[in-house]
């Protein structure tokens, strides 16, 4: 399973720092998720929700392959 956080973030024209600030998810976590240092299935639902809200998308969009 791959995540689409980076792809969607870049489409929205946001930096990692901006996404972290808007979502309330720590910058290091955002970077870990995008670099897949944390497996997608291990990302907390709460963080996925916050990121999806900041990116104005559905959680499913972040998990699409």
Position 2 scores a pLDDT of: 57
Q: Cα separation of 33 and 11, whole Å?
A: 17
Q: How far apart are CA 47 and CA 31, in angstroms?
A: 13
Q: Give the 3-state secondary structure percentages of the chain, helix then strand then coil, rounded to 5.
A: 65, 0, 35
Q: Residue 63's pLDDT is what?
A: 84
Instruction: Show the tokens assigned to 6.
Output: 């980076």
Domain residues of the chain, as ranges?
A: 5-58
Looking at CATH, the fold of the domain delimited by 5-58 is given as: 434 Repressor (Amino-terminal Domain) (1.10.260)
Task: Answer whether 53's CB lies under 8 Å from 5's CB.
Answer: no
- 18-64, pLDDT tens digit by residue? 999 999 999 999 999 999 898 888 899 999 999 999 999 999 999 87
């Amino acid at each position: 399973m791959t995540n689409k956080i980076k792809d969607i973030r870049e489409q929205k024209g946001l930096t990692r720092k901006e996404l972290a600030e808007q979502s309330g998810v720590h910058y290091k976590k955002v970077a870990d998720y995008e670099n897949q240092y944390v497996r997608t299935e291990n990302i907390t639902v709460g963080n996925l929700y916050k990121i999806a809200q900041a990116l104005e998308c559905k959680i499913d969009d972040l998990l699409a392959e």
